[in-house]
């Protein structure tokens, strides 16, 4: 990503690349539909993430998030160690392609009231996940770069 790029120039692939460079393993957290909710939340806590992609073979079967836990386990009084994740996951999962602008992803998340979007390639294979937190981080970085450029311009130290 060019340091002069703004939010409008950022693509999902840029976020995925930066996340995989920072992660211990660049893999998306996934699970099988028959895993228990307890197992899934344990893995989510270990990785400090808010979602886990539920996979049936190579296909996305659903998405389990902190919101699913609150709505379907905590509020309903279900047992997380007895409930399979397929019983409480979001089944109709929106996905995005790596070439999609981040700004469009943020609009989609707002419209769908979701915080995570799996990223799939042309063949539909899971290659990453983008979150609302990734978007906020990018917005902050863009604002900081622009602020720095404006300060340099005002002080006469701006170099093109």
Residue 24 has pLDDT above 60, yes or no: no
pLDDT, residue 2, reads 45
* CB 37, CB 85: distance < 8 Å: yes
- The verdict on residue 2 lying in a domain is no
Q: Report the pLDDT averaged over residues 59-69.
A: 97
Helix (H, G, I), strand (E, B) or coil at 89: coil
Q: How many domains does the chain divide into?
A: 1
Using a 10 angstrom Cβ sphere, with 0-12 exposed, 13-18 middle and 19 or more buried, the burial of residue 81 is exposed
Q: pLDDT value at position 160?
A: 64
For residue 129, being part of any structural domain is answered with yes
- 19 vs 30, more confident: 30
- Please report the pLDDT score of residue 3 as a whole number: 44
Is 112 among the domain residues?
yes
β pairing state of 51-56 and 59-65: antiparallel
pLDDT confidence of residue 4? 45
The CATH number linked to 68 is 3.10.580.10
Structural domain including 55 reads: 7-155
Q: Report pLDDT for 157.
A: 84
pLDDT tens-digit series, residues 70-118: 999 999 999 999 999 999 999 999 999 999 999 999 999 999 999 999 9
pLDDT computed for residue 19 by the predictor: 79
């Amino acid at each position: 990503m060019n340091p002069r790029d703004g939010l409008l120039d950022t693509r999902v692939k840029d976020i995925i690349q930066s996340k995989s460079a920072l992660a211990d393993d660049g893999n998306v957290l996934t699970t099988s539909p028959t895993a228990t909710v307890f197992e899934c939340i344990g893995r989510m806590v270990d990785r400090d993430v808010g979602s886990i992609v539920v996979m049936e073979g190579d296909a996305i079967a659903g998405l389990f998030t902190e919101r699913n836990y609150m709505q379907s386990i905590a509020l309903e009084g279900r047992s997380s160690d007895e409930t399979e994740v397929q019983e409480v996951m979001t089944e109709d999962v929106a996905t995005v392609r790596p070439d999609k602008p981040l700004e469009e992803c943020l609009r989609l998340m707002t419209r769908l009231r979701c915080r995570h979007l799996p990223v799939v390639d042309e063949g539909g294979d899971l290659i990453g996940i983008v979150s609302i937190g990734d978007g906020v981080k990018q917005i902050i970085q863009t604002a900081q770069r622009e602020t720095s450029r404006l300060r340099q311009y005002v002080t006469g130290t701006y170099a093109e």
